[in-house]
Amino acid sequence: MTEVEIGEVVEGLWGTAGESTWNRNRAAVNSWLSWCRDKKRWAAPAVPSSCERRKEHVDATKDLPKAATGSTFRAGCCGAAATGRTRTSAGS
């Protein structure tokens, strides 16, 4: 394969994907091609310059700490499946 063909494949598979997906998959292809060249000594092209990394948007969202979500699940809002417990009748 040539660099142009690699670029066509990468663009065809992930050209419309989001920035993070594009960058992750481009890096995986680049890593694999490097492995082919460096470890196996196969003639392998590089990822072409037309497949540059894409600028990712800043995501201001934050993960909630476990303590913030734990009381919600313990309160039973989502049922027994969320807590991993099963419900039993009073006499069992």
Helix spans in the chain (H): 3-14, 19-38, 66-74, 80-83
Q: What are the 10-residue block averages of pLDDT along the chain, 92 residues in total?
A: 95 96 97 96 94 89 77 59 57 53
What residue has token string 């600028």?
55
Annotated domain spans of the chain: 3-51
DSSP state of 17: S
Residue 61 confidence (pLDDT): 82
Residue 87 confidence (pLDDT): 59
What residue has token string 């690699």?
6
